[in-house]
Amino acid sequence: MANLTNFSTHKQEYDIFLSFRGEDTRNKFVSHLYEALCNAGFYTFIDNNLQKGEIVSKQLFKTIKMSKISIVVLSENYASSTWCLDELDYILKRKKKGQFVLPVFYEVEPSEVRKQEQKFGDNLSKHAEKFKDKVQNWKAALNKVGRLSGCHYKGGSETKFIREIIEEISKFKIMGKLLYVAKYPVGVDSRAKDVESLVDIKSDYVHMVGIHGLGGIGKTTIAKAVYNKIVGNFERSCFLANVRENSRTDDDTIKLQEKILSKILQNQHLKVNNVSEGINVIKERLRSKRVLLVLDDVDKSKQIENLLAKHDWLVSGSRVIITTRDEHLLIALGKVCTTYKVKKLDNHEALDLFSQYAFHKVKPDEEYSKLTNQALYYAKGLPLALEIIGSNLCGETKPVWESTLRKYEKYPDERINEILEVSYDGLGENEKNIFLDISCFFKGRSKDFVENILDKCNLYPKSGIQILVHKSLITIDQYGKLSMHDLIQQMGMEIVRQESPNIPRKRSRLCNYKDALQFLLGNTGSEEIRGIMLYSPTLKQVRLHPEAFKMMENLIFLMVDNVEISEALTYLPSGLRLLEWPKYPFNFPSNYCPQQLVALEMRGSCIRLEKIFKQEDLYENIKSINLSECEFIRKLPGFRAPNLETLNLGGCVNLTEVHDNIGLLDKLEYWELGFCKKLEILPSKLNLKSLWNLNLHGCKRLKKFPQIHPEMKCLILYLGDTRISKLPSSLKYLTRGLIGLHLNDVQNLDLSFAQYGFKSLTYLDLSSFDGNMVDLYIWLRPDYLPVLATLLLYFQTSESH
């Protein structure tokens, strides 16, 4: 039998802790109960030492803590023992942490315990003087345990009564109230506490909590941990695992419905004929019970409906926990559902978990430290990956570690990929294409930029990207950039590679440098490829055939960087939506028609704009142009691009003139002309209703600023280091729209425009001011600039003010 003397050798949890008054029941009822529990397979703790003293041993408290269930045998003289009362007080504290407590009222009435009547009251009175600081706690504990549902022995066959206790405890086990959580539950407790606070078991209303996140992040593990902690607070409970896998057909769904009924109704096997009937049976049979229900791995709203209907029938105090990869399912449930997104493990947690699997200890062997860091970098805090990789490498030599980690860089582990691909498999064709495009080409890019491009590919990206976010396949950071876990990205790339593992030209996308280069050098063309990314890790000279892109009519993304070609291309597909090739050393092919182009990114290239965009043509698709630092651009022609939003010509040192028609692009938002040192002529009038940023800094020959159209609403204006000394009177239209104004290093600045006052100006740069001091001090009055937050001002004499 287990006892306190050998406690320290037992690191395993006990199933049951027995609390009892020895002089009442040790040698009869409790000894028989203990024997029956052991025979039934329950690992039970009983204190076989005679209790000495009045203070419960710390070891005994540890034993209670390590037990899953406490049986409290409340007999006539139970309250005469301060030891028993301290045990009871601690047991009820553990109940709040999820421990199941079963009171056994042995020849006493529950009301005697609850109200401290008969000997319970007499014994507490005897303790009052010596233990006055504890008596109130003991009274509260007796009151609480007296209110719990338990087993009541009033006489008769003790054998039969003990059998009833065994059945009650067995129900607890059969109902699955205590679940195996994880071999190494690193990081689980902190996340389970967060979810537990959202569950809020103290409140009486019906509440649902949805745990969401990408596959392998630990949603189910956390749900199990929460379930174990709170299950003791409910009359009935059910943890329904793998709902997605187990509800593919109506027959599968019926089995799930029957499983809920069986668990909640404690083995009353009810048969259900069809799904609709099952919904009603669940409502009718469970509506009187305070239940805890966990629906694990849900991927469709219909699954929730088939198992809960509208969930408005649940009894007050009931709780439902749902785990899913799809946040949208939870949002659709409305205010009744609070959501919790599972975060990846931090660096310390990841190291701990990986080390447990790889080395069976919390830190790696020193000689494996560098390789361990490589594995952690690859897994990026995903528990699934840390577990699988750690297990794979456990006990292996350093050369095997090195080889395995190199392989993972190219080919993901199949078990990891299989779990991650579940989210991809649940997408529609449209969303699959968006996901693969982002995985291969657009991770780290602006969401707006990607939406603009994919919209012109007829992929409906606004809704599609949101679906990917809800399914935890991608995220959007605080700067509006698309991101995804590296293993999710690798999974997407592997899906594309598997389209044709050995023949790159038969794939839909090429983003691996070696595969893309091999394909292009072969000059075979391809009708399948929609995108090519040729990013060389170092500057590389490549002899591409001039017609390398000739037989690629379905190519819509072409992204090249750090690659130099020796001969000009004579053909580009006219269906390109994105063309990105910084420092392209030639002009475009004369037969190239860019009408389909959405984004042109060719910083530092040798192209001439008049050869690309012709004034007589319409370019409705183009949204973004980056031709910064292109030395061969001398004039910006008046091409028609009604949807152009971004125009970057910064650093085009030979640009001298901008055509008047550019001033009519009413969707232009961002216009960069900084350090165009020879620029002299701008459009005579800016009718740019959407423009919010105009940079002319460093345009040293620019003397005149255009008139501003009355409909221009908002602007940050950079005019530093120009020869503009006077701003037009039409600037008055921006009295409530001018947010930032940079006039640093402007000589002989005329401040007459300041008379209008600028109510929204928050940033003003007047560094090296060289104008009229009186006008300046008038302008800086608070009523002229009421929200100014930043002012940079110093004079050419270097005197600071």
Would you say how long the chain is, in residues? 801
End-to-end CA distance of the chain: 86
Q: Judge contact between 319 and 230, C-beta under 8 A.
A: yes
What type of residue is 321?
I
Q: CB of 645 within 8 A of CB of 690?
A: yes
- Of the candidates 76, 87, 349, 451, the residue annotated as catalytic is 87
Report whether 370 contacts 377 (CB < 8 A).
Answer: no
Quick check: is 196 catalytic? no
Sheet containing strand 67-74, strands side by side:
44-45, 14-19, 67-74, 100-106, 151-153
- Residues 149-179 as b/e (b if ≥16 CB within 10 A, e otherwise) read ebbbbeeeeeeebbeebbebbeebbebbbbb
- 509: three-class secondary structure by DSSP: strand
Rg of the chain over CA atoms, in angstroms? 37
Residue 730: partners with Cβ closer than 8 Å, 6 or more residues away: 707, 708, 709, 710
Contacts of 27 (CB under 8 A, 6+ apart): none
Is residue 418 classed as helix, strand or coil in its secondary structure? helix
User: Is residue 224 within 8 Å of 177, Cβ to Cβ?
Assistant: no
Nearest alpha carbon to residue 99 among 236, 234, 291, 232: 232
Give the H or E element holding residue 537. strand 531-542
What count of other Cβ atoms lies within 10 Å of the Cβ of residue 251? 10
Q: How many CA atoms lie within 13 A of 125 on its CB side?
A: 7
Question: Burial, 320: exposed, middle or buried (Cβ in 10 Å; 0-12, 13-18, 19+)?
Answer: buried
- Cα 138 to Cα 20, 60, 135, 282, 515: the distances in Å are 15, 18, 5, 40, 75
Selection from 342, 296, 343 nearest residue 322 by Cα: 296
**Parallel/antiparallel/unpaired status of strands 482-483 and 475-476:** antiparallel
> H-helix or E-strand containing 193?
helix 188-199
Q: Whole-angstrom Cα distance, residue 334 to residue 319?
A: 15
Chain centre to alpha carbon of residue 54: 52
Distance CA 16, CA 609 (A): 82
- Provide φ and ψ at 791, rounded to 5°: -130, 120
Task: Tell me how far CA of residue 570 lies from CA of 336, 531, 586, 588, in angstroms.
Answer: 62, 19, 10, 8
Q: Catalytic residue positions?
A: 87
